[in-house]
Structure 1
Amino acid sequence: MDVFRSLRSRNFRLFFSGQSVSMIGTWMQKTAVCWLVYRLTGSALLLGVVSFAGLIPSLILAPYAGSYIDRHNRYKVLVRTQVISMLQALALALLVYFKYYNITGIILLTLLLGIINAFDVTCRQSLMVDMVTQREDLPNAIALNSTMMNFARIAGPALAGIILSNWGENVCFALNFFSYIPIMISLFMMKLDVPVLSKSEVSIWTELRAGFHYISHDKDLSSLLLMLTASSLLVMPFNTLMPMFAKDIFNGDAKTFSWFESAAGVGSIISAIYMARLKPGKDMIKILITASCIFSLSLLLLSYAGWLPMALVFMTCSGIGMMAQTSAINTYIQTHAQPQMRARAISYYIMAYQGMIPVGSLLAGALANMAGPKFTVLLQGIAGAVAVAVFVSYRRKHSREWDNSDTGGVQPA
């Protein structure tokens, strides 16, 4: 089928299958960590701290990671990050198995995973172009990768809800450890033709400055990254408050919380399938604007929802909007960035996406403690709508100055 055309590439097919299992385990762990912290402390602020610890390394390290990956064999870097992630999962599983419920220890292990992911995510994204045989299949591969990740976002929390209710957090963490085995097997089965890198004559800090200069002087890319930064800081952290919605507003348990996560995942899969079916040449900017409007509106409606099924519908809509927003920006950057700058451009995407969410999570957690989760989500929806209006106004003002087309078509290498 056309929607799966990038799976014709053997290396991407291996990566897709192995990563699918691993990501389900990752989402099981994320759900279990959030539930464990809130169960032990009852603190929305600590929920924000956990999210902050897991994602703040992307804000600090992503540009360095992009420059580092541009100088090293991306495949070898990816193998190393997966091995270290597996060891982190084992450490967390042992911590909880022996009932050493130390919040500081959990936060430090979450911070370690965040440091690993600052390199791992950038590496995976930049390596994708080498996994796909036909370059025109790259946007489809990006969309399918997002579909896989968001399927894991459904299956992981759903399984975690069942496991948490029946066996406890330690089983979730143990299963996450074993979920790394398929991706390790897939990586070792790959036969990647990764370009041979010549030893760079300049320092990594010089290349860091070069990457920043490239991004900051490309108004097309920088406007998209600023839009993503605003959304990641002010809108996306609404997810941090979902344990409060499940437990305090709808009087639910761990299974109720997993429904919220899974609902957002269903919406993300719907959106990802739509993105995967797009043919080259589609206008990514229009898709971005439409998706951002859907995202903001769904949060406004979620803040007023008093009936659980309706709240889950709005969560599904939020997943549709958020997935299409980030996927459109990711696709545009990967298909328009200069090849020698691709990893660095992606690193700024990771910094704007994952790096700003932890700061927003802290703000959301603190505000929810003072004003309640519903009012916080309402403000996040308003902030998203304002960000869209500013982005559209900026694009219209500067559109005549740009030579680049506002389409998501693939440029020649």
Structure 2
Amino acid sequence: MSSGPGADSAPAPNHHHDARTTSLHTKGGTFSSLRIRNYRLFAAGQVVSNTGTWMQRIAQDWLVLSITGSSAAVGITTALQFLPMLLFGLYGGVIADRSPKRRLLLATQTAMGVTGVALAVLTLTGRVEVWHVYLTAFVLGLVTVVDNPARQAFVAEMVGPADLRNAVSLNSANFQSARLVGPAVAGVLITAVGSGWAFLANGLSFAAPVAGLLMMRTGELHRAERAPRGKGQLREGLRYVAGNPDLIWPIVLVGFIGTFGFNFPIWLTAFVNDVFHADASTYGLLNTLMAAGSLVGALLAARRGSSRPRLLVGAAALFGVLEITAALAPSFWVFALLLVPIGMCGLTINVTANSGLQMAADPALRGRVMSLFMMVFMGGTPLGAPLVGWITDAYGPRTGFLAGGVVSALAAAAVGLALARAGDLRLKVDFRRGHRHVAFVPRETAERPERLTATV
């Protein structure tokens, strides 16, 4: 189907059957994926809609807190937005594996724009109630069930396996760049004219990705094998992931961190309101600082050539430790500055897990693998957010934040040991000068007596 300038004269579709066995000739450079026209159009559209999305997130959290005065209510809103991913996430992966992803994204991006406009109309007319926000969040979550795996898998079709990791990293950099602008603009808009205009800006912003998708040269896409309709495809995807340690353990780790460690809307609103006694502009500032760290983390990830499990586990452990430290921060600026490295580590976890899973997965099952990844990373929030919100309300923001950090650090330690066992590795501690002090090494190497290599 021709759908963009030059589509009729484009070269024949490319076919990459398995990213694991395709010879990868990475072009190098932090922005190498942007040399591909289709990906440039996608990235340009996403930066506009991502900015609107961050504006809506900030405005939505602040509106709910203003209406109810409850951190738990903010947690309920977050939970409703991610509950559909928990309930139906795997079905979204099946749909993404069966369907043309570009057409699917045209539908989902349009639907997301409509939800933003609807909430804007309710707010600007003064009719908004907290249940309207709850309903809008839930509808947006339903659309996201299909949009997320389709968008994740579509990246591979735009750039091919050689540039996949770079494109995943740039997607995250794109998202975090918007996060730098969105919260700051949202804070100004909320203070000056109210939340409704932020919702309207978000709804209209989805015109950009829709236009980008329509302008793509479909003949230049790297066609992935599409799964035929059939029974048992959910079970097939789950069995595939469960039988592969390179897939199951990273998913388990991001599940724990997504459920308990990424509840920043709850913690930051509570710290701003109850600890620092500030306003929406301060909330926007804290989100901007975290986004700055995330952007740096994304750009560093774009330069790295691999997605090693040890990087994922190390980033997760440091993420937990930093959250614990921030929870105990004695002043506003210490707390605020700690959000920068927290953002870097959080982004590193996301990019490393995302790109590692996409490279390890069979293309015919990639949608289901990525839907499971998104289901546990985002869908775990409905389980964690109300609990974290209750702890924050009952025992204070510091205790809530501390609990999230402790769970993240413990999960990193447990998954690190599980991956080491699956790879027949063991922990080696060596305090000699010039040696790595702590490392996982093959079991035979670790058990080899050091005296064999010592000088007599």
The answer to whether the 8 Å contact 1:139/1:331 transfers is yes
- Alpha-carbon distance in 2 for matches of 1:124, 1:196: 14
Worse-matched range after superposition: 28-37 or 292-301: 292-301
Report how far residue 197 of structure 1 moved.
Answer: 6.9
Q: Aligned residue for 2:446?
A: none
Note if 1:161 corresponds to 2:187.
yes
* Matched ranges for 1:302-341 at <5 A: 302-341=326-365
Note if 1:136 corresponds to 2:162.
yes
The answer to whether the 8 Å contact 2:314/2:412 transfers is no
- Give the residue type in structure 1 aligned to 2:277: N
- Alpha-carbon distance in 2 for matches of 1:189, 1:166: 37
Work out which of the two has the higher radius of gyration on C-alpha atoms and give 1 or 2: 2
More helix by share: 1
Report how far residue 162 of structure 1 moved.
Answer: 0.9
- Alpha-carbon distance in 2 for matches of 1:400, 1:321: 27
The match for 1:34 among 57, 61, 84 is: 61
Note if 1:44 corresponds to 2:74.
no
The structure 1 segments of at least 4 consecutive aligned residues displaced by more than 3 Å after TM superposition are 193-199
The answer to whether the 8 Å contact 1:304/1:374 transfers is yes
Q: Aligned residue for 1:410?
A: none
Report how far residue 283 of structure 1 moved.
Answer: 4.9
Q: Aligned residue for 2:31?
A: 4
Describe the shift of the 1:351–1:198 C-alpha distance in structure 2 as closer, same or farther (beyond 3 A): closer
- Alpha-carbon distance in 2 for matches of 1:196, 1:302: 44
Describe the shift of the 1:126–1:199 C-alpha distance in structure 2 as closer, same or farther (beyond 3 A): closer
> Deviation per CA, 1:193-239, whole angstroms, max 9, x where unpaired?
45487783523xx1111111111111221011111111111211244
- Give the residue type in structure 2 aligned to 1:265: A
* Matched ranges for 1:14-413 at <5 A: 14-132=41-159, 134-193=160-219, 195=223, 200=228, 202-203=230-231, 206-279=232-305, 282-400=306-424
Describe the shift of the 1:250–1:214 C-alpha distance in structure 2 as closer, same or farther (beyond 3 A): same
Report how far residue 310 of structure 1 moved.
Answer: 1.1
SS at match of 2:31: helix
The answer to whether the 8 Å contact 2:307/2:352 transfers is no
Describe the shift of the 1:32–1:238 C-alpha distance in structure 2 as closer, same or farther (beyond 3 A): closer
The answer to whether the 8 Å contact 1:11/1:131 transfers is yes
- Alpha-carbon distance in 2 for matches of 1:153, 1:222: 30
The answer to whether the 8 Å contact 2:97/2:227 transfers is no
Number of residue pairs the alignment of both structures matches: 397
Report how far residue 286 of structure 1 moved.
Answer: 2.0
TM-score by length of 2: 0.84
> Deviation per CA, 1:40-76, whole angstroms, max 9, x where unpaired?
1110110100000111111111100101111111111
Report how far residue 259 of structure 1 moved.
Answer: 1.1
Report sequence identity in percent.
Answer: 28
- Give the residue type in structure 1 aligned to 2:111: I
Q: Report the RMSD for the aligned CA atoms in angstroms.
A: 1.6
- Give the residue type in structure 2 aligned to 1:172: A
- Give the residue type in structure 2 aligned to 1:274: L
- Alpha-carbon distance in 1 for matches of 2:245, 2:99: 28
- Alpha-carbon distance in 2 for matches of 1:318, 1:274: 15
- Give the residue type in structure 2 aligned to 1:17: A
The answer to whether the 8 Å contact 1:93/1:173 transfers is yes
The answer to whether the 8 Å contact 2:225/2:363 transfers is no
